[in-house]
Amino acid sequence: MAAYRDAFVVCLVALLVGTTASGTVAAQSQVTLTVTVVDQDGDTISDVDISARWDDGAGGPVNETTRANGQALVDVPAGANVTIQIHDDRYVRNVPVEVVDAETQAVEVDVSESATATVRAVNADGDPVENPRIRLYRDGNYVVDRNAGGDGSVTTKPVEEGEYRVIVTKPGFYRNLTSVDVSGETSATIQLREGAVLLRASVADDYFDDPRPIRDATVSISSDNGFSGTVPTLSDGTASVSVPVNDRYDVTVTKDGYETVDRTVRVDESETAIDVAIQRTPALTLTPTNRRVVVGETVRLTVVDEYGEPVANATVSQGGSEVGLTDAEGELSATVPSAGNVTFTATADDLSATANVTGVSADGDGGAATPAPTQEQTPTGTTDAGGPGFTAGLAALALLAAALLARHL
């Protein structure tokens, strides 16, 4: 029994060792790349140093030098994505060669004689343009893309000989696109021309289904390169400013009663138009139907928003106590509790508004009610002559009647 057990253990160990060894061999499987370096005429080049990396640069490098036949043998992991670069003072390649899913195969690397280019940007007077962006482009790749210094020039690292597209730009100047044939040590001077175009902003209130132009809004325009300008909108809501070409601008629109809107816009070399939508600053307005109300009577209060639209379910309070909520029409009836100034407050979301009414007593006095003053009256049924019911008016009538009677007699 023990003998069988020992035999089993030996077999298991052998199996594990065999599996591990097999996995190690598989993980370390190599393939050979036969790399041939050739010049512009297709001739092979000897004594060129090359290097190979894989796994996005994590693997390698493997360094080799081409032999007399222009070839070098490079061992790399099977299936790896390999990058092959050239290191030589005579020859250069702008873009490394990529080998995908490497296997035993031949790889041709075409190179060019090394050259440099110095590109200098000047203005119409021939003076250097400070800090322009200079790019050299060839075969679908930028070999140079950087900002020049104060002298307006850049010098490339060693690049392939040949024709390049040169693009020079700077805010405030028209772009210059030209071709330069680079060989040896090439110098090129590129002239930039200043220019400006219109930037037009159309400002409208888009609260309405048909946005309404906003007149007398202030449009402020600025850039990181020092430009700034401010102009009001016309009756059609437009404002136009002449701005330097090829720059990025910050546009700010302001108007009393409206929210401030910021925009960023890129202006190239043609007139540029932008639409800016603004809306009124959120606000509440609380309005009573009457400003003077008899104490104990109710006043109708109306709450509207910044556009005069009714605000439903706004909370109305007085003296710190809640009175109620507005209805769908934004209205609420509230009792005026006392004489004098009475303040009502309406709140909705984070907004609030107040309104004052004056409570008056029933006799119209704004303060406390007071009794009416007492007036002296003459007793009914007596006269100064002492006769009951006999008044001065009756005495005068009697005398007149007596005089008429005497004339007839």
Return d(Cα 344, Cα 328) in angstroms, integer: 19
Residue 111 sits at the vertex; the CA angle it makes with 110 and 113, to the nearest 5 degrees, is: 150
Q: Which of 330, 181, 171 is nearest to 244 (CA)?
A: 171
* DSSP helix/strand/coil, 111: coil
Residue 167, pLDDT score: 97
Calculate mean pLDDT across residues 225-248.
Answer: 97
407 contacts: CB under 8 Å, gap ≥ 6 = none
pLDDT digits (tens, 9 = 90+) for 273-291: 999 999 999 999 999 999 9
C-alpha distances (whole Å) from 252 to each of 196, 212, 220, 367 are: 20, 19, 5, 53
**What percentage of the chain reaches a pLDDT higher than 70?**
82
Average model confidence (pLDDT) for the chain?
Answer: 87
Residue 361 sits at the vertex; the CA angle it makes with 359 and 369, to the nearest 5 degrees, is: 135
Report residue 147: phi and psi, to 5°: -85, 135
Residue 365, pLDDT score: 57
253-289 in b/e form (b: 16+ CB < 10 A) is bebeebeebebebebeeeebebebebeeeeebebebe
pLDDT higher than 70, residue 215:
yes
**What percentage of the chain reaches a pLDDT higher than 90?**
79
Distance of CA 82 to the CA centre of its chain: 43
**Contact between residue 312 and residue 327 where contact means Cβ atoms under 8 Å apart:** yes
For 221, other C-beta atoms within 10 Å of its C-beta total 21
Return d(Cα 173, Cα 153) in angstroms, integer: 16
Q: What is the pTM of this model?
A: 0.70
Residue 404, pLDDT score: 43
pLDDT digits (tens, 9 = 90+) for 120-166: 999 999 999 999 999 999 999 999 999 999 999 999 999 999 999 99
For 178, other C-beta atoms within 10 Å of its C-beta total 13
Calculate mean pLDDT across residues 59-74.
Answer: 95
Domains of the chain: 28-110 (2.60.40.1120), 114-191 (2.60.40.10), 196-278 (2.60.40.10), 285-360 (2.60.40.10)
Return d(Cα 409, Cα 378) in angstroms, integer: 40
Beta strand 228-232 with 238-244 is unpaired
Calculate mean pLDDT across residues 16-38.
Answer: 67
What confidence tier does 368 reach under pLDDT thresholds 50, 70, 90? very low
**Token pair listed for 364:** 């119209």
Report residue 373: phi and psi, to 5°: -65, 150
pLDDT higher than 90, residue 266:
yes
For 44, other C-beta atoms within 10 Å of its C-beta total 16
pLDDT higher than 90, residue 389:
no
Residue 380, pLDDT score: 39
Distance of CA 292 to the CA centre of its chain: 49
What confidence tier does 409 reach under pLDDT thresholds 50, 70, 90? very low
227-238 in b/e form (b: 16+ CB < 10 A) is beeeeebeeebb
**Token pair listed for 47:** 């004594």
Identify the residue with better confidence: 362 or 348.
348
Among 285-289, 311-315, 373-377, 387-391, the least confident range: 373-377
